[in-house]
Amino acid sequence: MVTHLQIWRALDALAVRQGTSPSGLAKLAGLDPTTFNKSKRGTANGKLRWPSTESLAKVLAATGASLEDFVALTSGIDGARHGRVRPVPLIGLAQAGQAGYFDDAGFPAGSGWEEIGFPDLGDQHAYALEIAGDSMLPVYRDGDRILVSPSANLRRGDRVVLKTRAGEVMAKQLSRLTAQHIELRSFNPAYADRNFPLAEITFIHRIVWVSQ
């Protein structure tokens, strides 16, 4: 059973991941800035108040976190709950398709990466990419930094980064994945969806966070 404390703890951890306060998290999700304030978590007579499922859904959509991520946060197994931050390699998404930035396993390699601090997700191969341009609006904006976890499991609906054998790197939403084929949905409706034989994909990794 998930407790009242665990739900609010997970929301606080999401705010820490985002580098903001509970109020800032609410604003990011298009909610009233006071929605997640500590004063809203209980009444004067001690009655517990819970966030609505609608507000939780808006937060997950705004931050790019999955329901699985949120459940992990309620269990307190995320490094952000304790404010743990570690350096992760960072390059621009446009650079990522160039040779020398990833090894044969799809992990960051070479000396061209910068380093920035991100919440420790427990994945030693995690890396960050910086978005440039407007091709991923309204989900990702120019200057956003996405945190990518090669070890995270993939499911339909996940936001992912993948690299093709032709050297193209892109961020999309996973629509369908079989043993032979992958279907991807573009974030921006002005850009076409993409489909590939799986044999043409070098790697596919899940986006687990965005710093906006």
- Domain check: are 141 and 76 in the same one? no
- Domain check: are 95 and 137 in the same one? yes
Cα–Cα distance measured from residue 8 to residue 36, given in angstroms and rounded to the nearest whole number: 8
Residue 111 has pLDDT above 90, yes or no: no
Picking from 42, 60, 81, the residue at the C-terminal end of a domain is: 81
- Domain check: are 26 and 131 in the same one? no
Range among 98-102, 107-111, 179-183, 205-209 rated most confident:
179-183
For 161-180, b/e burial (b = at least 16 CB within 10 A) is bbbbeeeebbbbbbeebeee
The pLDDT score that the predictor gives to residue 184 is 97
Picking from 25, 60, 81, the residue at the C-terminal end of a domain is: 81
Confidence of residue 119 (pLDDT cuts 50, 70, 90): low
Confidence of residue 19 (pLDDT cuts 50, 70, 90): low
Picking from 81, 101, 122, the residue at the C-terminal end of a domain is: 81
- The pLDDT tens digits of the residues spanning 142-159 come to 998 898 999 888 988 889
- Domain check: are 147 and 89 in the same one? yes
What distance separates the 2 farthest-apart alpha carbons in the chain?
Answer: 63
Residue 142 belongs to domain spanning: 85-211
Contacts of 113 (CB under 8 A, 6+ apart): 89, 90, 91, 101, 127
If one counts the domains in the chain, the total is 2
Cα–Cα distance measured from residue 197 to residue 195, given in angstroms and rounded to the nearest whole number: 7
- Domain check: are 42 and 101 in the same one? no
- Domain check: are 104 and 182 in the same one? yes
CATH number at residue 75: 1.10.260
- The pLDDT tens digits of the residues spanning 44-80 come to 888 899 999 999 999 999 888 888 778 777 765 444 4
